[in-house]
Amino acid sequence: MTTSTIPVAGVDPYDVLVGRGILSELANALGANVRKVLIVHPPTLGARAERLRSLLSEHVEAILAEVPDAEAGKRVEVAAFCWQVMGQSDFTRTDAVIGFGGGAVTDLAGFVAATWLRGVRLIQVPTTVLGMVDAAIGGKTGINTAEGKNLVGSFYAPSAVVVDLDVLEGISPMETLAGFGEVVKYGFIAEPEILDIIERDVATATNPESDEFRRLVELSIGIKARVVGADFREAGEREFLNYGHTLGHAVEFAERYQWRHGAAVSVGMMFAAELARLTGRLSDDIVDRHRSILTSLQLPVTYPAGRWNTLLSVMRRDKKARGDLLRFIVLDALARPTVLNGPDESLLFAAYQEIGS
Ligand code: GLY
């Protein structure tokens, strides 16, 4: 099957390329002027990063920067290590950074590219489902501080995103299913065909080698591309992508980041669905559809009762809260998201009781 090209509009437009065995297209995506590239990758992808380095070496000088995986890599010391490698290798403004890894690695690589010499070319090559459908697209880059996640960063558009489904070979089924938290999110906020495909045959839909899987990834990227193309800096519609994330982020914090992001978002979407039902927006059918689809993907739909006060205080600190008011994305109907601003606390507690285990 051929490579699909999904354009992302905006001040700095770029393409997302999707296909199988397409890492060789990276050299073209780099552009003619690039002489050096820094490939930022986690230890688990060392052998693959080396293959990528040798592939690119026919065209450019490629240098590897191995960084800690997951949140441990999103630290200023790790960014400083990358800057040091670039400085010692005489990286200029026309050179490039490649983010080769999951969402944490592409966030870090994006931040390094955005800050080196006030910005060099960035190519994102996500290697997880979550990275492919969400983190690597849209230009959110950043690192964490001791005070919280993603507190330092910038919006910085990549020059291209290369989604090679073959890099998912060997990925654990649990990792794939966790990535589906975001895929389901797109289904509810924008594209019901996603839900239909998963409901038709969940095993085929989640098999990275199937055409259905590719279709789901392409549909998800299409939605993300459209939304971030219209609202790069999250002044409006982009906030809808946070469906399930207000409570989801609080769950991640309460679980000391031991839960996968998609699992926390799954509980968060269930909560948002119950909230919408309690405010008279959503029918029982659509709330039940959330529960059955997420359960079919082995994602959690309940959370232990008795932890409400912790979650509420974390949500209050959520950087997406404006002033004192909590904001939730809820659905008016399937594919009709809206903002629920400052809901009554008793309503929130009632929704929490609906998902209590
Ligand atoms: N992950 C949500 C966004 O990129 O806006």
Both tokens of 325, joined, read 């008011």
Taking the domains of the chain in order of start, what are their residue ranges? Answer: 4-168, 173-355
Measured in Å, residue 240 CA sits from the centre of ligand 1 at 9
Measured in Å, residue 208 CA sits from the centre of ligand 1 at 23
Give the whole-angstrom CA distance, residue 246 versus residue 114: 27
Query: Residue 281 in contact with residue 331, Cβ under 8 Å?
Result: yes
Q: Is 179 exposed, middle or buried (0-12, 13-18, 19+ CB in 10 A)?
A: buried
Measured in Å, residue 134 CA sits from the centre of ligand 1 at 6
Measured in Å, residue 105 CA sits from the centre of ligand 1 at 15
- Residues 115-169 have pLDDT tens digits of 999 999 999 999 999 999 999 999 999 999 887 788 899 999 999 999 999 999 9
Residue type, 353: Q
Give the whole-angstrom CA distance, residue 92 versus residue 29: 18
Query: With a 6 A CB cut-off, is 241 part of the ligand 1 pocket?
Result: yes
**Ligand 1 nearest atom to the CA of residue 234, by list position:** 5
Measured in Å, residue 44 CA sits from the centre of ligand 1 at 25
Instruction: Return the best residue to mutate from 137, 231, 242 for the ligand 1 pocket (most ligand atoms within 8 A of CB).
Output: 242
From 3.40.50.300, 1.20.1090.10, 3.90.1310.10, 1.20.120.420, which CATH number describes the 173-355 domain? 1.20.1090.10
Mean pLDDT of 232-238: 94
Query: Residue 252 in contact with residue 317, Cβ under 8 Å?
Result: no
Residue 188 pLDDT greater than 90, yes or no: yes
User: What pLDDT shows up at residue 317?
Assistant: 78
Query: Residue 190 in contact with residue 333, Cβ under 8 Å?
Result: no
Give the whole-angstrom CA distance, residue 321 versus residue 328: 9
Query: Residue 122 in contact with residue 156, Cβ under 8 Å?
Result: yes
Give the whole-angstrom CA distance, residue 53 versus residue 48: 9
Look at residues 245, 247, 249, 129 and name the one whose alpha carbon lies nearest to residue 177. Answer: 129
Q: 65 - beta bridge partners?
A: 40
Mean pLDDT of 293-309: 96
Measured in Å, residue 59 CA sits from the centre of ligand 1 at 33
pTM: 0.95
306 secondary structure, DSSP code: T
- Residues 109-121 have pLDDT tens digits of 999 999 999 999 9
Query: Residue 254 in contact with residue 311, Cβ under 8 Å?
Result: yes
Query: With a 6 A CB cut-off, is 138 part of the ligand 1 pocket?
Result: yes
Query: With a 6 A CB cut-off, is 260 part of the ligand 1 pocket?
Result: no
Nearest CA to ligand 1 atom 2: 241
- Phi/psi at 315 (5° precision): -60, -35
Give 31's pLDDT tier (boundaries 50, 70, 90): confident
- Residues 170-187 have pLDDT tens digits of 889 988 999 999 999 999
Distance from chain centroid for Cα 96: 22
Give 95's pLDDT tier (boundaries 50, 70, 90): very high
Helices (H) and strands (E) in the chain, counts: 14, 11
**Ligand 1 nearest atom to the CA of residue 182, by list position:** 1
**Ligand 1 nearest atom to the CA of residue 238, by list position:** 5
Distance from chain centroid for Cα 281: 27
Q: The domain 4-168: what is its CATH number?
A: 3.40.50.1970
Query: With a 6 A CB cut-off, is 263 part of the ligand 1 pocket?
Result: no
Sheet with 36-41, edge to edge strand ranges: 4-8, 14-19, 160-164, 121-126, 96-101, 36-41, 61-66
Residue 41 pLDDT greater than 80, yes or no: yes
Cα–Cα–Cα angle for 22, 26, 32, rounded to 5 degrees: 145
Query: With a 6 A CB cut-off, is 134 part of the ligand 1 pocket?
Result: yes
Residue 322 pLDDT greater than 80, yes or no: no
